[in-house]
Structure formats: structure tokens, C-alpha cells
Amino acid sequence: MKAQIVVNPAYAIGPIDPRIYSGFIEHLGRAVYEGIYEPGHPTADADGFRTDVLELVRELDMPLTRYPGGNFVSGYNWEDGVGPREQRPTRMDLAWSSLEPNLFGTDEFIRWCRKANTEPMMAVNLGTRGPAEAQALVEYCNHPSGTALSELRRRNGSDAPHNVKVWCLGNEMDGNWQTGAKTATEYARAAAEAAKMMRWTDPGIELVVCGSSFPAMPTYGEWDMTVLEHTYDLVDYLSLHLYFANRKGNLPGYLGQSHYMDQHIENTIAFCDSIRAKKHSRKRMMLSFDEWNVWYHSNEKDMQAPKWAVANNLLEDVYDMADLLVNGAALISLLNHADRVKIACLAQTVNVIAPIMTEPGGRAWRQTIFYPQYYTSQFARGTVLRQAVDCPTYEADVSNRPERTVLTEGIPYLASSVIHNSERGELVVLAVNRNLEEPMDLTVSMEGFDPLCLIEAVEVANPDLQAVNTADFEAVKPSQHDRAQLDRSTLRVELAAASWNLIRVKISS
């Protein structure tokens, strides 16, 4: 099978905002307790943070980490998680039928972020609470001193402001699974007032308003436009979420779900731009894809989990080689919309549908999906180029829900993105071969560039698409190969069947 890409420096999609490589920590399952925070662990530091986990998170180089949710935030009282630990209450978390001991809260999270080389992206509760409580949290975090809440933060050990710059106005407020779910108008009015008061408290913050939870919602589109009618001039980003799953055992369709992600992004851009036109606004709304990942392996097990315990084993998907391909293609989709997608959060970071897994008191290791996130974050920096792609296509059902069918034509066997990193003097090609049986002979014509040499060709491939990584054995890992050749301005590379690939080419400045 053959495929061709043509790129030229004169034709660009846009600059990559590094925040598309961000992460997510929710008070859910073992993400916090036994994940990032485990005081009794042999590697724990003075704050109780697992340093083995910190090292792996730093490898991923996540510019932002969203916290504390997720569904959890819609019932969360942030005040429960600050001050002396012995005085913090244990609460019922209705979102996940768990107990929350509040041993880890806002101040601990900020300290963890500083050690993990990531910036906080805080969410406020607009489910059971409202604009006043949202404003209060901004004041606690960001006001220097001299008010009751800023002085409370200082008494709690943080003399300098936390300086949290990005704030989410609630989470998935259109979903009936959400504590305090609202109609679009109810949410939009609360979000507008919260945005106004939060900006009055700190004019330098950026705000993310909730879009539709996922495309199959009955109010999809209508919700987004109603919310933007009220908040367009007050916020910076509209959020969108999507999870991938292979509940039907349909591998071709599963591998094509990033094609569905492309459609979701483009629909959401259309919703935003329709309100822009209606308001005669010069402002272009940007997108925050602040929840995305593969999530389905743990679904049945989660239904049997005991309720009202601390750190239940929830959403602990064990990822395989097929999941890595879907994850890698999703990153490519995000990059190919770099002109509008400015923030994206892999959900989540540790233990809960995560690239990093841990044992209580024991080891931490990299799941299969760790590798596309790592390599893309490390090397896909700069400007995404427009591609002219010639590639065979196929038809498949890309729905991740058993009750629905989304039959999609024209799914390319090649998912690809080409990035011009002018600082490093590199062209970076990211490519997924979705063909399960045939290798792909890929030609990349780099018109207008002066290629000097091939730096490296990295692939992740395993004929067993159900192969997984464990604490004892890493069955899926990257390797370099010699099947790439550079002939003047043309790159030729053979992509293995069902493989993820990164090729770096040195170019003249």
C-alpha cells in the first residue's frame, strides 16, 4: 500500500500551543490517593508525593494539569481541602460513590504542580455551588494579601499567590450524571456571572466554558450555542470532551475513531463561529479539548466496585497496542486543528484511564499510551503544516456506543501530521498506519525545504494488538529502525502494519 504527503512552508495550519499536551488529575479512584499522593510510599517526599510518579509525569512534559475534576468538582467544597489536615472533614462523593477524606486539596495540588513542572488548571463547582464560591476560590488562590481569603491561604502556608491562570467554569453541566446538572440557559447564566466575578477578582485569568459533553448528547450544538450566546464576550475557550472505545470488537472502526474526533472539532468550531457571526464579533473562540482518551476496558469491573470507600480501584483501564494507535491518531487530530485547539488534557494522568500506573507501596510503570504522548510532546513543537495527502481509504462504523451506528466513509489508512520546528531546525512527521495487515510505503515531499539529514525514525509496533505493559514486562515500547531514506527533498519510509511512527528530519535554517 502506498501513500503520499506533500508539504510546503508557505502553507501552515497554525502554531502549536504546548498546552495541548496537558493532563488531568481528578479525585477519582486511585488518581490522587495511591497515585500522586502516598505518604507511606518508599519514594514519598516530605509532602507525601510519590517521587517515582513525579519523574514519569515530568517525562511527559505536561504544561497544564486540570484539577479537581471532572464529575467530582460538581459536588466539591474547596474549603474542605485546605487548612490543617486533622480538621478536614470526610465527605460523600456522589459522583463516584466514594468517600473523600480531603487529605489532599488545593494547596497540596499547587505544590505538586510545582514539583511536576506543570501549571494548575483549576475547575470551579457550578453544580451544587455558584458564582460566589467560584470567586472565593480565585481570591484564595490569586489575591496577594489583605483579605480574609488571601490571609487564610497565607496562614495555610502559601505566602505568595498561587497565580492560577486557567479556570474551568464547571464540568459537563449538560449531563444528567452531573451533580447539579443544568439546562443550557441555567448554566449559561451561572457561568456568565461566575466569569464576571472571577475576572473582577483577577483580570489576568483565562476562562473555559462547558460545551456539550459528547456528540451523542440530544442537545449537541444547541447547548453550545446557547451557552455562547451568554458568555461569548466573557470567556476564552469552549470545552469539548470525547472518549474512544472498542465495545463492539470492531478494530477498523475503533482505529478510525480519531476521524470522528476531527468531525467533533469541526462541528464545535462551526458552533462557535455561528455565534461570532451573529454577534458581529472580531473575537475567534478557541477550544479546550480538556478530556480525551480511550476508556472502556474497566467498565464492567467498575460496576462491581464497592461503594463508599476511599481510593476505590475505578477506571483502571489496562491499555494495549490498539489503544496506543487510537491515542496516537487522536494526538494527530488535535495537532491538525492547532489553529483552534489551544488546550487539551489527556484524561487522566495516573491510575485512572492513565498513561502511568502504580502499585500501592510498590512500583510505577508506563502504559502503552505513554509513548505517543511522550514523543509528541517532546518533538511536535512549532507550526503544523497543511498536507496534501493521497492515501487509500476505507469505510467503518466509528461509533463507540453499542446502541449507535456511525458508518463513515473515506477513513484514510494514514493518520498524519507534519510539524515545522524552526527552533530546532527540524521537520517532524507523525504517522499512524491503520491498516491491520499491510505495511505502508509513505513518501513525504518537502517542497520549499532544504533537508540535510535524517535524524531518527521511531516506531511502536507489535503484531499482537492486545499486548500490554505491566510492572514486570514492557511488551509495547518504541524502537528505532532503518526503513527511512532521504533523497534530496523527499522522505521515503516504510510504516509497519498497525504502527505508530515519528520521523525527524534536519533541515537548513
Q: Which residues are catalytic?
A: 172, 291
Are 395 and 386 within 8 A, CB to CB?
no
Residue 255's identity, in one-letter code, is L
CB atoms under 10 Å from CB of 413, counted, come to: 22
CB 358 within 8 Å of CB 351? yes
Spatial CB neighbours of 460, under 8 Å, sequence gap ≥ 6: 321, 324, 328, 368, 371, 372, 476, 477, 478, 479, 499, 500, 501
Cis peptide before 68 (omega within 30 of 0): yes
What's the residue count for the chain? 509
Distance CA 311, CA 27 (A): 9
Cα–Cα dist 319/324, whole Å: 7
Extract the C-alpha cell encoding 17: 500551543
Which set of grid coordinates corresponds to residue 476? 509495547
CA distances (Å), 494 to each of 232, 319, 333, in order? 46, 26, 22
CB 351 within 8 A of CB 29: yes
Helix (H, G, I), strand (E, B) or coil at 30: coil
Sign of the torsion angle spanned by Cα atoms 209, 214, 215, 218:
negative
Q: How far apart are CA 32 and CA 38, in angstroms?
A: 8
Helical ranges in 71-176 per DSSP H:
106-116, 131-142, 148-155
Q: Residue 42: what residue type?
A: P
C-alpha 171/C-alpha 96 separation (Å) is: 14
Quote the CA–CA distance of 302 and 25 in Å, as a whole number: 19
Angle formed at CA 4 by CA 442 and CA 256, multiple of 5 degrees: 80
d(C-alpha 478, C-alpha 60), whole Å: 15
| Cell numbers at 343, concatenated | 488546550
Residue 286 contacts residue 237 (beta carbons within 8 Å): yes
Give 436's Cβ-side CA count (13 Å radius).
14
